[in-house]
Structures are given as structure tokens and as C-alpha cells.
Structure 1
Amino acid sequence: MPDDTTILSLPLILPAQAQKHVTHNEALVALDLIVQLAVIDRTLTVPPPLPSIGDRHIVAAGAAGPWVGQAGRIALFTEAGWQFTAALPGWQAYVMAESQMALYNGLTWIALSDGPFTVGRLGVSATADATNRLTVSSPATLLNHAGSGHQLKLNKAVTGDTASLLFQTGFSGRAEM
């Protein structure tokens, strides 16, 4: 039997182990660090001057001092000092200083607003399919300008293809422009 769990490397209580409470407490501290992960920021390269117990940060690239070699890791301030945990791909953290979520892609933390994120299909109150990859079921759809106007562009791959605006009733075509 391994000493740690496979994914989070939490310590396991072993048969005939003395002081089982120590192992159990280590696992609880590790979970406390990563569950419902919210960090203060992700821009510091050195610890803040007066951290509070429980403060969490994502260590920025170029870390120095007590954080040297910990870039990209989650830093937790405990009674014993700084504890570091490496994130796994797919982990998410709410970054309080930015009021947004960040996603760890295996190499770096990316703010969800920074992208580049794409989806193959998107349904808003509807189910998208292979043909209608963007599907919206709504009493109205607003495409608003972000400046002086707004253009809706329908691009054809080649001259013989069709680019049209189709008006339907009950999913049956009534008019096409």
C-alpha cells in the first residue's frame, strides 16, 4: 500500500502506525490549502511583510527570498511558516486582487478573461449540435456595438457556398435573405 494518495499526495494512515492523528492532521491541512481555493494575488515574488495565518498566494515567476524556486505554486502561511503546494492541470483559483478566476494549465496560471479559450459548441438555454454550434433559445438576442457600430458577418468559404439569413417558424424556413 502506498504512503500517499495518487492525485493529491495526501498522507495515508498505515496499518499499525503510531500517532495516527499526525498523519490525519497533515491531510486536513493539505485539503484546507486547496479546497475552495481563493488566493490573495498571483503577482508577488516575495512574501508580504505581515502575512496572516491562512493567507494564500500564487507565487509569481522570478520568486526570491523564502519563495525562491516556488514560482507557480500555491503558498499558504501557517503557524510554522510558508507551505507550498504544486497545482495540477485544471485547478482553479479565485484571485481576490483581480476579482476573477484563474486556471492552471500545467505550465502557468491563466486568468479566464485572458483566454484563449474556445469551445466547440455552445448552447444558451438550448442544445448546440454539429451544425448549429452556437444555439440560443431566448425571447431576444442582443449583439451590441463596442464603438461606433456593429456588423454581423457571414463568410463563405468559396463562391458557390451559401451565406444567408434564414427566418423560420417551427424550424421550417419562411424567408431567406
Structure 2
Amino acid sequence: MADPVTARLALPLLATGQAGKEWTHNEALALVDLALQPAVQAIGLNAPPAAPAPGQSWIVGPAPSGDWQGRAAALAGWTASGWRFVTPGDGFAVWCLSSKRTAVYREGLWLEGDVAASRLVVDGLPVVQARGAAIAEPAGGTGVDAEARRAIGDILAALRRHGLIAG
């Protein structure tokens, strides 16, 4: 029979009448320490670093080797007892120390720096919401109107480049 583990993070559970409960308990604490509010050194490494310090962690790349073999996309953390791994699920998020960006695990991929939202609110005011419909280019008029059309055209081009309105 397999050892009992938690449903989400596969943390080891104590069993009734189990000898050496401290081993199971300490293993669970090491994995919680790795998975709770994780901050990784880097994302996508395939080989373990040569001299990791206890408490450091990484996101394993798509073609892992060495001690990371078979652990693609896992959160790998170095402890005093060696490597510990947490398999991510959709929504798992980490802070990457090297890029200073958040990465979120979605549909089998780590998406670094992507922000999925329906709107951006700054100081209580929505500043970016869902993309608006295309705005027609100005047309008509003469003289000074040509300069206004050029300026409006530049504004519309910038809004399109930033994805705020459709092209």
C-alpha cells in the first residue's frame, strides 16, 4: 500500500501506529517550506546548480538531467538532506528572483511575467479594461486639420501597439 499523502501537494501524512513519525512530519514541513510563498532563483534550468544553498529553489526546465531527471516543470528546492520536489498544479505561482517577475503555472506551462486579468485598477480607478473596439481613422477637412489628423493617428497607433484597442 502506498504511503498516504495530501491530495494537492502530496505532502506525507502520518499513519496510525507509525514508527518514526518525526521523519514523515519533517518531510512534510520541508515540502511546505518549499511550496509556501516560493521564491525561485531562476526558471527553466535543466541541470541542478553545482553548489546550491539550503533554502534555494528553481523551476526545472523541460529536459532535466542529473538529480532533476524526470522532474520537468517541478519546483526543486535544496535542503540539508538533498533535493525536494513539488509538482505544480494550475494556478501555482512563484516569484523569480533573477527576473524579478511572477511566474504562474497554467495548462502545463510556466508563464513568466504574464498577467491574466479582466482589468487593472490603480488607486481604486480602473485604468485598463477589456480591449475596446477599433476606432476609425479621422478623415476630411483641410489645413490645420491635417496636423490634428496626424496627431490623432499617432495616438491611435500607440493605443493599438499597447493592445488597448483593436487594429
TM-score by length of 1: 0.64
What's the CA shift string for 1:78-110, capped at 9, x where partnerless? 223222221111011111110111111131111
**Correspondence list, 1:7-156, <5 A:** 7-112=8-113, 115=114, 117-124=115-122, 125-126=124-125, 150-152=154-156
**1:150 deviation in Å?**
4.8
Partners of 1:25 and 1:84 lie apart in 2 by 14
**How many residues of Structure 1 are paired with residues of Structure 2 in the alignment?**
134
CA RMSD, Structure 1 to Structure 2 (Å):
2.9
**1:25 deviation in Å?**
1.1
**1:20 deviation in Å?**
2.1
Asked whether the 8 Å contact 2:9–2:87 carries over to 1, the reply is no
Secondary structure at the residue paired with 1:101?
strand
Asked whether the 8 Å contact 1:90–1:106 carries over to 2, the reply is no
Relative to structure 1, the CA distance from residue 88 to residue 97 in structure 2 (aligned partners, 3 Å threshold; closer, same or farther) is same
Larger RCO (CA within 8 A; separation ≥ 6)? 2
Q: Which runs of 5+ in 2 are unaligned?
A: 131-152, 160-167
Relative to structure 1, the CA distance from residue 65 to residue 21 in structure 2 (aligned partners, 3 Å threshold; closer, same or farther) is closer
Partners of 1:75 and 1:122 lie apart in 2 by 32
Secondary structure at the residue paired with 2:67?
helix
Secondary structure at the residue paired with 2:76?
strand
**1:152 deviation in Å?**
4.4
Relative to structure 1, the CA distance from residue 119 to residue 47 in structure 2 (aligned partners, 3 Å threshold; closer, same or farther) is closer
| Identity between Structure 1 and Structure 2 (%) | 34
**1:3 deviation in Å?**
1.9
**The structure with more helix, counted as a fraction of residues:** 2
Asked whether the 8 Å contact 1:95–1:101 carries over to 2, the reply is yes
TM-score by length of 2: 0.67
Asked whether the 8 Å contact 2:9–2:86 carries over to 1, the reply is no
Relative to structure 1, the CA distance from residue 60 to residue 12 in structure 2 (aligned partners, 3 Å threshold; closer, same or farther) is same
Q: Which runs of 5+ in 1 are unaligned?
A: 135-148, 155-177
Relative to structure 1, the CA distance from residue 3 to residue 37 in structure 2 (aligned partners, 3 Å threshold; closer, same or farther) is same
